[in-house]
Every structure is written in structure tokens, then in C-alpha cells.
Structure 1
Amino acid sequence: MFNTAKSAYSVVFTTSFRTAYRLVANAYPFRKGSPLLVCQDNHACVRQLINSAVNLGAQPILAPLGENDLCMTESNLKPLLKRRFFHRSGSLVVYPAQSNITGIRHSLEWILRAQKFNWQVLLDVSTFLPTSQLDLSHYQPDFVVGSFENMVEYPSGMGYVLVKRSSFCVSVYRFPEADSTITLIPKAPEWRGEDYHIVCEDESPPLLLFASINFGLQHLQTLGLGLIDQRVKVLVHWIVHNLKSLRHEDEFWHLVNVYSPFTEKNRGNIISFNVLENSGEHVKPTLVKKLAAKYRIALGVATCINPGVANLLGSPKERKRNLGVFSERYSSRFTCVQVSLGPISNFEDAYRLVQFLLQFRNPEFVPTQLTKLKEQTLSVQTALRRQSI
């Protein structure tokens, strides 16, 4: 799956993706003046690292995205990596392999370039796998955080952290009345440590859960990660091409505003968009999701999972170019619809999605569907009242 060996990385199993971030945030050896470079396309969980760095006197810095293509640009990132900092502890870059809103795959070459300037790298692969391939024999970040739920479609929510042994050894501390935590011991070659650890916040996950994850990973290997990658690329290209060509009945206004890149280069498995009315206003993403469910199409709604990109896609008046976008007090009003393709997605799924969205060309489609939803809601409420009598 990762093309690496147990001798290269330790594995920490966590009860959630958020816990994976928390463990690194609490254990990383930040010191006064230590730099923490946060990319604007990071998941909202990066707030835990920012808060930990600030509490320990470290210096968080934002690496902004290009406003036109929403990619990591040479002009924005390279000068920050080359900055000289006077401190004893390491420097940490939090780098997303793929955007969880636009679906853009960011170049993994920045891992090597950051390490060339003596930065340590935390790579977020939560949406990158399993529809992309990660070669840890070539790219060797110090940490890899991800989610098994996204990889094997199993509703466990479990996450994981891979820790490079040549950078840190891992030790787990468990407390009777508090969350378990880990300790990172920098460069301790005389102590190899355990191959894997399990960190639980509440009760221990059942063994059946690990068996299910193992079965799911083996199934992915059987399908072939390369074939999954190729098929998803073809399906996403077809969907994006068709969505961008959809127009209202007057053939003047676009029907869908797509936030994912049009070209195939650097495009992942996520497509984000909003359906537009004739007036140019967005149809509420929650309504689009509800209507899609009636046609047995599973869509998501992206709200606060990526405040940095949401800030760029939202109102220009609210746009920020600093770490304020990751503040817990900041809340972007931007929302959009998301479709995420997986290992078993096929052309029928893609075709049904486009045909569903075509119905929004009819000005009467939304009002008619709203009326039906209200009638169904009233019918359910009436039935519940009768049962309670």
C-alpha cells in the first residue's frame, strides 16, 4: 500500500483522524522560535498543531495558495522554506497530498525540497489514498496521517500515524482517567521501539474492526492501486468536462460552478461544485444533497473541513491571507456540494450524477421537489403523532 517496510516506519492506530493530529500536536518537540509552516489547503485539524505550537512559543507561518489555480506555487512556498531560523529543534511543514475541497493533488516533490532545507514534514493523505499511489521508498516524510475510513469505506472512523524511525521513536503513555498520548524520542537508533501502537480515547476498538480493515486493504491490493488510479482519473475527467458544459435552458447561464481543476493534471478523486439558479444564486448544497438522495446518489456538503480554501472561494470581502483563516473564531460562509469517487465507482455512477443535475435546468424542478419534500415531512409527522396517541 505504501511501498515501505516495518524497519522504516512505526504505525500508530488511532480511534479517529482527528486523534492522529492530536497525538502529533501534543508530542512534537516545539520550542521557542520553532517554525511551523502550515499550507493554506490543510484540513481544519491542523488547528491542533497551531495551538500547540503557539502554547510552546513556536512560530506558525501560513504558506498561501495561488489565488487563480489554488495550487502550491514556487513563488509562495520556496521563499518560506529557505528562511533561516535560529533554534535548536526541528522545523515542521504540514503538507496536504490532496485538497479535500478542490481535489487538487499537490506535488509530492515539495517533501524532498523541504527536507533539503532541513525541515521535517507531516504529510496528510486523508483524501489522497486509495485512489492515488504513495511511494514511501521515494518520498519519506517524517509523519504520515490518514484515515482508514476513506481508504476501505469501512465506517469505523479510525485513523493512523506513520512515524519515520530515523526521525523519532514512539512510546505510548496510557492514563486511567485521561486520553492516551505518545512521546516522540528524536533519533534514538539504539532503541528501535515497537512496530505498531494502538491509542484509544474511549474504549479499545474490537479485534473484528482490525480484521475488517485488513480485509479491505487486501481487497484494494487485489483490485490494483494503479488500475484504481487510472479509472478514477477517467471518470473524474468525464464528470468535470460534462459539468462545466452544462447550461440553463436559455443556454446563457452556466448550470454548475465547478471548483475542481478542468485539466487532468494534478486532479484527484474529489469534485466540488455548486448548482446555480438562473439568477446566478447558489441552490443550497443541503437541498441538492437531499434531492440527490431521492435518486440514490450520495453527495456530501463541504463546510468547515478546509477553512483556508473555503476562504478563497468565498466572498472577496472576507478573504484573509494569514493564519486567521484557521482560527476557531473564524467561520467561512462558503459551502459547496461534493462527490467523492472511490475504488468501486463506475461509469453508471458518473452518468447518473450528470443526468440528475440536468434536471436543474427546468425552472420548476426545485419548487416542485420542495413541495414534495414538505408533503413527505408532513406525512411522516402525522404518522408519528398517530402512533403516539
Structure 2
Amino acid sequence: MFLSQSFKNISTCVILLNFLFLPALILSLAYCSSIDEGITFDYGYDGYIDELREKEMPHLNNETYLDYTGSGLYTQAQIDAFYSLLQSNLYCNAHSRAPCSIRTEKEVNEARDLILSFFNTSSSEYSVVFTSGATQGLKMIGEYFPWTEESAFVYTTHNHNSVLGMRKYAKRAGGIFKAFEQSELEEILSEFQDSVQINTEEVDPFGDDFGGFSGFSGNTWTWGDKGDNPAHLFAFPAECNFSGIKYPLDWINEIKRGDMGAALNAKLAQYDGIDRSDGEWFVALDAAAFVPTNRLDLSLTPADFVVMSFYKMFGFPTGLGALLVRHDVAERLQKPYFGGGSVSIVGCREDFCQEKPRPSDRLEDGTVGFLNIIALKEGFKLINETLGGIENIEQHVSAVTQYAFERLSSLKHENGNNVVEIYGNHEKQWINGEYGVQGGILSLSVHRPDGSFVGYYTVQEKSAQHRIHLRTGMVCNPGACYSLLGLDETLVCEMAAEKESCGDDIDMVNGMPLGSVRVSFGFASTKNDVDRLVEFIRQEFMEESSL
């Protein structure tokens, strides 16, 4: 296990930071003195971080990478082990009984089990459906969900475009969609709970009340009643990819207990007068920005659908993600198309098709990217063994994020105005000694001395000159951008014809930025990365003449 490098008091911080330049040291001392007793920030995997960067990441070439939410970084060990495996074994299409096919099938099934184990669940509860990434997983949910004219699709305003796109399927079926802020959802739930007598008895999320799937025996999957009640869907991110704000995973249990669904039914009825009390609510969790640096335990928060992209977790392979589907809801999905590998037998002249019974087989059309799937075990080995587990990554990223927040927040122009404005809940990164509601993302804007904004595209261009890699714009999350930056959504929509993408050079409207500068950290981030970012902002934006 890694030993703790904890910022517990001022003297510890002096020892750890005495090689940094003086401004960083002074700021860190002030920060450490403000930490509550007993809270520790574990940085660097017991000193291994520098060795990791030097030995495993020669491809960084002394550049500063700050876009882990865009994609993670791969290590030399991952690539070497993967190619060694390919050189030593023959793998081929698993839709055969040839020896290479059987070997491939075994590796792919082991990868499925590895994924489920990582999220503390098993194949008795979930199926792993391989996708090209989180976006394809969300598209599959939207396309296959049993929408009707009575269906409702509810999502949080802070959501990726790929979640917003699901509303097209709900609308096409005649259903409605509605977006709510987190505060609105919490108020809706609270008002409902205050207005009714609540059954506080704990419900086993895997008990009979959530039935449908009755188990696995040998090679036969058995299913219960598919259910005829109208289906509604609630979607939210575990972590916002724009701001890094984390959302309450207990919403999943509120849906399963019935409180959240009933509260939403009552609220939606105020808009259209439709009684949806006979419907059934399901929950889709976008975990793409969350799982690279946080523990997701599906035994505690058993979402019906979970999507992720593996390249965001450990860089390689790209073009591979997963949709995790609970067995007790998989049979309700209405898949209109079948492709190779998803059927047992099919008629040519007759409209007859026998789909394969296992959800992953039924939902994966064609041949999965088996070589990419085989590479996953080296990525999970990086997390579980090399770095000692996702908890160590969470602690390390939290330490780097807080260090960056404190350093950037301290930057002042000569007139005392802030150089940087940071969006999110960084003051709540720790709550009562536990990880709070802020992840490893700093979404920020840069100000001139007079308080006006520097366009994010200008920051992007100048950061590239300093070999700093970051992301700017709305980062495919318009709702978070509009609300956190205080933008008028109607005004932005009126500019649509002028913009080519959410990160192009049209970056201001009426003096307000149309996006932010996103800095995101991951398992290999260092304080030195932060120092380079701070020095870049100091050099480029703290003197009016430089603008």
C-alpha cells in the first residue's frame, strides 16, 4: 500500500513544498493552515508520481497535459504488455468455434467480469454491452427505450449534449422532456416528501420489488413480465464534464424507492395535467467524467443504465466504451434492428428472428472490437495494481485540484482584481472529512485588470504556444455553461448561425464569454503541471500590455 503524504499541518507542507518557488510556498502554507484537523490530502502515490511520469510517459515530451476529461493518458507499460500479448497469441472473430475464436471469447468475457468487478457488481445483476464510447451508449438507451405518448424524459440542465440528444427519441414517440437545475430537483423531492406519508422502510434494490430478471442457470437466461406500464426516464451525470460538480448518486435510490418518481409525476402534471402515477421510472447515469477518478459502487447505487468511455479512464484503447444494463430492465428495451451476432437464427423470406437471450449478445450488433477489449485488462491493472486502486487516484487528483484552486484563486492584478474566475463547488471539495461535490476539473475565465473577460479562444491560442494542452468553449455541455456563466440561452441560440462549434473563435456575446477554459486533472497530473499553468497565466494575462 502507498504511504500517506498528508498535508496535515504547516510544517509538513514546508517539507513537501520547499522546492517550489516562493509564491507557491506562501500560498500552500496559508492553505494548509486552513484545513480541518484530521483531513488529509494524499499526493503522489507515496512519491511514485515522478517515477511514473519519467518511466511510463515519454510521449509527454515535457509538455503540460491538462485535458484528462477529454481523454486520459496511456502508459508505456500498457502499450508494451498489449503488443506482447498480440505477438504471443492469435485472436480472431469470436463468432466461430475455431481455437482462436474460443480464446478471444474467453478474453472478452473476462473483460466483462473485470469491468463489473471494478464497479462492485456481477453478471448476475448487470450486462456489459460494449460500445464505441459513452455517446453510443446514450444513443442506444434513447433509441431502444420503450417510449410512448405518456412517457416523460427528465434530465438535469448540467448534462452533456449526448444526453440532451436523447430527447429526440422521446419527442418522436409523442412524449415530453423537461430539464431541471439540481436545486429545483432537490426542492421538488423535498416538497413531495413533506406532503405525503413516507414509508421509510429500507428496500433491497435487488429484491422482488425490482423484479423482471429471475436469474441465470447454465446457458439459459430467464425473464419475467416485461411490464406494460408507461416508462419514464431520468438522466443525470455523476460528474459534470464542464465544471466538475458531482451530483447526488442517492438520486438513483430515490427513484427506486419511488419518491423521486412520484415527485416528478406531481411536478410534470403541473405543466400538462397528465396523470403518470401508473408509470415506471428508470434512471440513466452518465459516468464518463466520474469513473476515471472516483469510485462508483453499483451495489450501493444500482442505476438501470450506466455509460462510460474507457479512454477517459486510462487513455488506451480509444473508440471503446460500455453501456451497463441491469437485467431487470434490459428486456423492456425495444431494439428495432438486428445485426450479425445478435441473433440465433433468422428467416430470409419470412419475417422470423430468434434473438440471442443474453442481453450483451442481443444488444451488440456485429463483431465487437475484440483486440481493444483485450487491452482493457492492462488499463485496469494500471488503476488496481500500479496505482493501488481508484481511491488513491481520487486522493491524488483531489490534492492536485485543491492546490490548483488555491494557486489560481490567489492571482491578483495590481489593482487587486482577480485574474481568474473559477466556476464550480471547490469550497465543498471536502465535507466533514469526506469527498464532497467537486471533482478534478477547474472551469475558469480570465479577466483583464478592468474586470472584462479575455475570450477563451485567446487563452487557447496562447496556451498552445506554451505547449499547454487544455480545452475551451462549452465543452458539449451548454446547460452548465449557460447557468454558471450567467448567459441568456435565448440570446445564445440566436447566434447559432454564426458559430461552427462550441469551441470556435466566436467566443464572446455582449462582453460575456460563450464558454470557459477547462483544466482537468487525472491520475498522472502533478503540482508541476499546475505551476506551469499558473506561470503561463501570470506571463500572458497579468500585464495589460500583453493583451
Match of 2:421, SS?
A: strand
- Confirm or deny that 1:262 pairs with 2:426: yes
- Confirm or deny that 1:212 pairs with 2:375: yes
CA 244–115 in structure 1, closer or farther in 2 if over 3 Å, else same: same
Matches within 5 A, 1:134-283: 134-154=296-316, 156-169=318-331, 173-175=337-339, 193-195=358-360, 199=364, 206-222=369-385, 223=387, 224-250=389-415, 252-263=416-427, 264=429, 265-283=436-454
Match of 1:60, SS?
A: strand
Alignment equivalent of 1:94, drawn from 216, 232, 235: 235
CA 330–197 in structure 1, closer or farther in 2 if over 3 Å, else same: farther
RMSD: 3.2
Q: Distance in 1 between matches of 2:361 and 2:533?
A: 41
Q: TM-score scaled to structure 2, two decimals?
A: 0.56
Match of 2:474 in 1: 303
CA 83–26 in structure 1, closer or farther in 2 if over 3 Å, else same: farther
Q: Distance in 2 between matches of 1:317 and 1:5?
A: 45
Q: Distance in 1 between matches of 2:292 and 2:406?
A: 23
Task: Give the partner amino acid of 2:322.
Answer: Y
Aligned residues: 339
Please tell me whether the aligned partners of residues 302 and 336 of structure 1 are also in contact (alpha carbons under 8 angstroms).
yes
Matches within 5 A, 1:279-358: 279-303=450-474, 305-318=476-489, 334-358=514-538
Q: Once the two structures are aligned, what percentage of the paired residues are identical?
A: 28
Q: Distance in 2 between matches of 1:304 and 1:141?
A: 25
Task: Give the partner amino acid of 2:238.
Answer: A
CA 19–318 in structure 1, closer or farther in 2 if over 3 Å, else same: closer
Q: Which deviates more, 283-292 or 158-167?
A: 283-292
TM-superposed deviation, 1:49: 1.6
TM-superposed deviation, 1:249: 2.3
Task: Give the partner amino acid of 1:276.
Answer: H
- Confirm or deny that 1:35 pairs with 2:197: no
Q: TM-score scaled to structure 1, two decimals?
A: 0.78
Please tell me whether the aligned partners of residues 65 and 76 of structure 1 are also in contact (alpha carbons under 8 angstroms).
no
TM-superposed deviation, 1:268: 0.4
Q: Which deviates more, 219-228 or 306-315?
A: 306-315
Task: Give the unaligned 5+ runs of structure 1.
Answer: 67-71, 182-190, 367-389
Please tell me whether the aligned partners of residues 152 and 176 of structure 2 are also in contact (alpha carbons under 8 angstroms).
yes
Match of 2:142 in 1: 25
TM-superposed deviation, 1:351: 2.0
TM-superposed deviation, 1:101: 1.0
Q: Which deviates more, 228-237 or 356-365?
A: 356-365
Please tell me whether the aligned partners of residues 93 and 122 of structure 1 are also in contact (alpha carbons under 8 angstroms).
yes
Please tell me whether the aligned partners of residues 15 and 205 of structure 1 are also in contact (alpha carbons under 8 angstroms).
no
Matches within 5 A, 1:122-133: 122-133=284-295
TM-superposed deviation, 1:316: 4.8
Please tell me whether the aligned partners of residues 165 and 192 of structure 1 are also in contact (alpha carbons under 8 angstroms).
no
Task: Give the partner amino acid of 1:8.
Answer: E
TM-superposed deviation, 1:119: 2.3
CA 111–194 in structure 1, closer or farther in 2 if over 3 Å, else same: closer
Q: Distance in 2 between matches of 1:247 and 1:76?
A: 40
Q: Distance in 1 between matches of 2:250 and 2:444?
A: 28
Task: Give the partner amino acid of 1:310.
Answer: C
Please tell me whether the aligned partners of residues 53 and 59 of structure 1 are also in contact (alpha carbons under 8 angstroms).
yes
TM-superposed deviation, 1:363: 2.2
Please tell me whether the aligned partners of residues 317 and 376 of structure 2 are also in contact (alpha carbons under 8 angstroms).
no
Spell out, residue by residue over 1:205-238, the C-alpha distance to the aligned partner (whole angstroms, 9 max, x if none): 6543223333112211121100000111111111
Q: Distance in 2 between matches of 1:205 and 1:83?
A: 50
Q: Distance in 1 between matches of 2:377 and 2:194?
A: 41
Q: Distance in 1 between matches of 2:497 and 2:175?
A: 21
Q: Distance in 2 between matches of 1:365 and 1:330?
A: 28
Match of 1:167, SS?
A: helix
Q: Distance in 2 between matches of 1:309 and 1:79?
A: 25
